[in-house]
Amino acid sequence: MAKLRSGESITSEQIGSSDEYPVFGGNGLRGYTAAYTHEGDFPLIGRQGALCGCVNFASGRFWASEHAVVAAPLNGHHSTWLFYVLSSMNLGQYSQSAAQPGLSVDVISNLVVPVPPTEQQRAIADFLDRETEKTDALVAKKQRLIELLQEKRTALINHAVTKGLDPDVPMKDSSIVSLGHVASHYDVRSFGRVASLQRGFDLPADDREAGVYPVVSSGGIVDTHSEGPVGGPGVVTGRYGSVGSVYWLESAFWPHNTALYVRDFWGNAPRFVYWLLLSLSAGIAAAESGKSAVPGLDQKDTRALQVAVPPLEEQLAIATHLDAETGRMNSLMDEVRRAEVLLHEYRSALITAAVTGQIDVGAQKARRQAGGP
């Protein structure tokens, strides 16, 4: 059905963003370069790495890297139909290496698939092009909705911690660019006067004992331990790796040394400090990303940050309000994500049904031409 051959090596220095020909690797488009290895329409199979078995499609002139297997149709088989067949086969299951997953061309070449006549291949490809385009458009809308909800959530948090909940409260210029105008009765002070951050504790793998206390790293809860040296409620933020990530702990926990935890809230409401740190997280992550090859956050990086601080009673009210409003947004985002998963599952099932003949695409075409659904 197809001749399978890996692409050609290319260095990262040869790949840019403004050259003429696209470069496809094992997981799709990597960038652009000044030369090409192939011309035409070809399915591409990722052959190495965590996403080996990923199937893409390339048209025109392009460079296929050594991490992609180019499937060149033989004997008049339809290239787009072949792309859908390969997409339905879950090729990643044939990976032969645990340390560095990889696909063997010989293994793929010997797999058996149902092959309809060429005319039927074309009809299946046309049907799936049309139907998957609709599904992909719906998925894109779901993804955009999640982005908008996340933006709204961020704006809600930032507004609440700087301007409060009363829309009629007088404002004042904070003289801080990142803060802008804040509620007139808020104090503007350094974060170091609101809470003190402390680096977490080392926890060698051979000292770990499973227990009831969560071990919180830069990336969240990663383990449990028999000891919880820090009492709750607590707030943890990423120090290395997921810089700027923020986590809330209700009870005692073990903060890992890849994270910072709030050692003292200096009389402020812990839950408000959590929301305050979340409002700073995007700026912290952006600032740290440009510092070095391995961005890192330390106590001194947050100590001088200027923040707006309301009275304690208002801190509690803001925290309660944000808990409720962001909870509703999070639930809505979860629903949208579930819908997105179902669309992906429907898309996969549709492809499988079409390429195995479970859907009569000829009948579908006839109904469409007759004006039916």
State the DSSP H helix or E strand holding residue 245, giving kind and residue range, or none if neither: none
Q: How many CB atoms lie within 10 A of CB 267?
A: 8
pTM here is: 0.83
The yes-or-no answer to whether 117-186+310-373 and 190-298 have a common fold is no
For residues 164 and 318, is the Cβ–Cβ distance under 8 A? yes
Query: Which residue bears the tokens 């409060």?
Result: 164
What type of residue sits at position 130?
R
- Across the chain, the runs of DSSP E, i.e. the strands, are 2-6, 21-25, 28-33, 38-46, 55-64, 68-73, 171-173, 181-183, 187-190, 196-199, 213-217, 220-225, 234-238, 246-249, 254-255, 259-264, 306-309
* Parts of the chain with a pLDDT under 50: none
Supply 20's token pair: 């003429």
Q: Token pair 């912290």 is at which residue? A: 284
Contact 298, 284 (CB under 8 A): no
CATH of region 2-115: 3.90.220.20
Entry field: residues in the chain:
373
Residue-range domain boundaries for the chain: 2-115, 117-186+310-373, 190-298
Percent helix, strand, coil in the chain (nearest 5)?
40, 25, 35
Half-sphere exposure of 209 (CA within 13 A, CB side): 4
Q: Say what the pLDDT of residue 281 is.
A: 83
At residue 282, the pLDDT reads 74
Whether the CB-CB separation of 265 and 210 falls below 8 Å is answered with: no
- Of 362, 341, 339, 359, give the one whose Cα is nearest residue 351: 359
Structure tokens at 321: 């309000």
> How big is the CA angle at 59 (ends 49 and 78), to the nearest 5 degrees?
95
Rg of the chain over CA atoms, in angstroms? Answer: 27
Given a contact cutoff of 8 angstroms between Cβ atoms, the answer to whether 225 and 208 are in contact is yes
Q: Does domain 117-186+310-373 have CATH number 1.10.287.1120?
A: yes
Question: What is the reported pLDDT for 240?
Answer: 80
Query: What does the DSSP 8-state code read for residue 13?
Result: G
| pLDDT of the residue at 68 | 93
pLDDT at residue 5 in the model: 94
Pairing of strands 171-173, 181-183: antiparallel
- Sign of torsion over alpha carbons 190, 244, 214, 271: positive
190-298 adopts what CATH topology? Adenine-n6-DNA-methyltransferase TaqI; Chain A, domain 2 (3.90.220)
Nearest to 326 by CA among 264, 248, 238, 216: 248
Residues 6+ apart with CB under 8 A from 155: none
Distance CA 137, CA 128 (A): 14
CB atoms within 10 A of CB 254: 25
For the stretch 241-251, pLDDT in tens is 787 789 999 99
**Alpha helices, H only, 52-117:** 79-87, 105-109
CA–CA dist 8, 66 (Å, integer):
5
Tens digits of residue pLDDT in 130-166 = 999 999 999 999 999 999 999 999 999 999 999 999 9
Q: What per-residue confidence (pLDDT) applies to 17?
A: 86
